[in-house]
A and B are shown apart, each in its own frame.
Chain A
Amino acid sequence: MSRKVIYGVFEDEEILLASAKALRSKGVRIKDVFSPFPIHGLDPVIGIKPTKLSNFAFFYGMFGTSFAIWMTWYMMVHDWQMNVGGKPSFTWLQNFPAFIPPTFELTVFCAAHGMVLSYLLVNKLYPGRSPHNPDLRSTDDKFIMEIQTSENGKIAEDLIVSTLKSTGAIEINHKDLN
């Protein structure tokens, strides 16, 4: 069986959303949607799971907190005790209010940078990567829905195309992956 991709091109995000709902109700799986801006309420319709990025952010933040605690302890208490402003650092706990700002900053720093890097890695966005956008008009004023026939083995291609047409796609393009 040949692997084909069907691209439905839409002029309006609301029409695309309605079309996606109609397709999903017929059991069609939608691979992805390319849009110039985020479409409100689309994710659950096309079956995209909520992101786990926030869970990662929590652990990056925890790492930042732990790292800051270790760093301030190592620098200010363990390796070379420093007497700053009449506050000798004999133990970390005695001086910890002074270490709150760096702890806060490192928590934010690690959470923010960790999130950005994870996002780029998970989405395979790195310098030199060739663009994977199927249709450059999706960066301007068109909304493009991508459906792979291999994911919809039991559903006839004609049904997908006719549903797309009847629900308002202004243009339907095909591409063979083989």
Chain B
Amino acid sequence: MNYTFSSKTRNICLALIAIGVLSLVGGFLTDAHRTWPSLLLNSFFFMAIGLGALFFMAVQYAAEAGWSAAVKRPMEAIASYLPYGAAFLFLTLVLSSLHLNHLYHWMDPALYDKTSPDYDEIISGKSGFLNVPFFLIRTVVYLGGWILFLRAFMKKSAIEMQGYNVSNWKSSQQLAAWFLVFFAVTSSTSAWDWIMSIDTHWFSTLFGWYTFAGFFVSALSMITLITLYLKNQGLLPEVNDNHIHDLGKFMFAFSVFWTYLWVSQFMLIWYSNIPEEVTYFMDRFANYKFIFILNLFLNFFFPFLVLMRRGSKRNYNLLFFVGIVIIFGHWSDNFVMIMPGTVKEHWHFGWVEIGTMLGFLGFFGFIVLRSLASRPLQNKTHVFYEESVHHHI
């Protein structure tokens, strides 16, 4: 069966994109300081959802998982947003490097000048790693590497659709293994570069995992949302309650995983109370207290208590709603990761932020749904398709 990207859905996406463009243009004209972090936030967040879906797809191959073959197309479609999100993110980072904005405090050359009153000894000490050329090289390696892996996966997927082919599946598995090795390192280091370096003095050794946990659970929720959307249209008849239940379990489990890392990061810093570490949370408690605490409810208590029951993971409407809450919750978690270091107490949550988010959401939806419509939804010659159709738990 094929998904048709109807003109009505297309118009909704285009309308959202228009809102986003208007918000960005309006934002830059009225208050550019407020708009840049919003651009970075949404470029990163939606790119990371595509990356999370690619990671999940690679895990299916590496783990020889059979159940997920029937939901492979939604994963692929979400992952296909990765190059577009990467382009936005790269553009934003290049513009930062050209000093068109002040997202990254460490990019200010005065910090490294001993004669300058702004000389910062700590940041100067980090200049071996945190300097603009190396930063951009790393960014190219991360984004370029992920996109190359995505393209290799898509090629293998096209062969997969031509006929039952075990050797193609085996080489996909090897590709997945190499991707996971690359991803294991780059998911951490990219989070240090793009997000942790905003609060330049501060560091946390599990920050990479924390960022990963957030975007991975968002990607899992997005896979669930797209699958439920397609099922609602009657397009994925072979995906049964058990597949949905398993996706729900993943959403539940990785919400708990995110919380585990959140507590591990927060509690140790709170307990040891070392000034250079604790400033990170002092900033957030001083100016972002409501949204900081709200994140715990959106990302932990709500999914934990609601998805705990077996029945709620099989209730499509409820699961859809929880998925939206989780994705918004992690968007707002990323908000609290990026805003305090860039706009400090002058933050807003108004038309620029919401409009930019809606614009990126529309663009994301446009790319994902277009990709979904480009190929049949059933991957009938996938090695594990038959196993997946008979999935039962």
Bound complex: CA A100 to CA B271 (Å): 12
Q: Does B282 contact A (CB under 8 A)?
A: no
The residue on A at minimum CB distance from B263 is: A100
A87 and B392 contacting across the interface, CB-CB below 8 Å: no
Contact of A97 among B271, B308, B310 (CB under 8 A): B271
For A101, the chain B residues whose CB sits under 8 A away are 267
Bound complex: CA A87 to CA B271 (Å): 8
User: Which of under 10, 10 to 19, 20 to 34, or 35 or more describes the interface residues of B?
Assistant: 10 to 19
For A41, the chain B residues whose CB sits under 8 A away are 392
B273 and A97 contacting across the interface, CB-CB below 8 Å: no
The residue on B at minimum CB distance from A50 is: B310
Q: How many A-B residue pairs have CB under 8 A?
A: 20
Bound complex: CA A59 to CA B9 (Å): 45
B392 and A97 contacting across the interface, CB-CB below 8 Å: no
Q: Does A120 contact B (CB under 8 A)?
A: no
B271 and A54 contacting across the interface, CB-CB below 8 Å: no
Q: How many Å from the CB of B71 to the closest CB on chain A?
A: 21
**What 0/1 pattern do residues 124 to 140 of A give for CB contact below 8 A with B?**
00000000000000000
A98 and B271 contacting across the interface, CB-CB below 8 Å: yes
Q: How many Å from the CB of B5 to the closest CB on chain A?
A: 38
Main secondary structure of the interface of B (DSSP, over half): helix
A54 and B310 contacting across the interface, CB-CB below 8 Å: yes
Contact of B270 among A40, A58, A97 (CB under 8 A): A97
Q: Does B266 contact A (CB under 8 A)?
A: yes
Q: How many Å from the CB of B271 to the closest CB on chain A?
A: 6
A40 and B308 contacting across the interface, CB-CB below 8 Å: no
* A residues 89-136 in Cβ contact with B at 8 Å: 97-98, 100-101
For A54, the chain B residues whose CB sits under 8 A away are 310
Q: Does A85 contact B (CB under 8 A)?
A: yes
Q: Does A38 contact B (CB under 8 A)?
A: no
The residue on A at minimum CB distance from B309 is: A54
Q: How many Å from the CB of A54 to the closest CB on chain B?
A: 7
For B310, the chain A residues whose CB sits under 8 A away are 54
**What 0/1 pattern do residues 290 to 319 of B give for CB contact below 8 A with A?**
000000000000000000101000000000
9 nearest A-B pairs in the assembled complex, by CB-CB distance: A97-B267, A97-B270, A100-B263, A100-B267, A98-B271, A85-B271, A41-B392, A40-B392, A97-B266
16 chain-A/chain-B pairs, Cβ below 8 angstroms: A41-B392, A54-B310, A58-B308, A85-B271, A85-B272, A85-B273, A87-B271, A87-B273, A97-B263, A97-B266, A97-B267, A97-B270, A98-B271, A100-B263, A100-B267, A101-B267
If A41-B392, A58-B308 are given as contacts, then 16 extra A-B residue pairs at C-beta distance below 8 Å, sorted by A number, are A40-B392, A54-B310, A85-B272, A85-B273, A86-B273, A87-B271, A87-B273, A97-B263, A97-B266, A97-B267, A97-B270, A98-B267, A98-B271, A100-B263, A100-B267, A101-B267
Q: Which residues on A are within 8 Å of B, measured CB to CB?
A: 40-41, 54, 58, 85-87, 97-98, 100-101
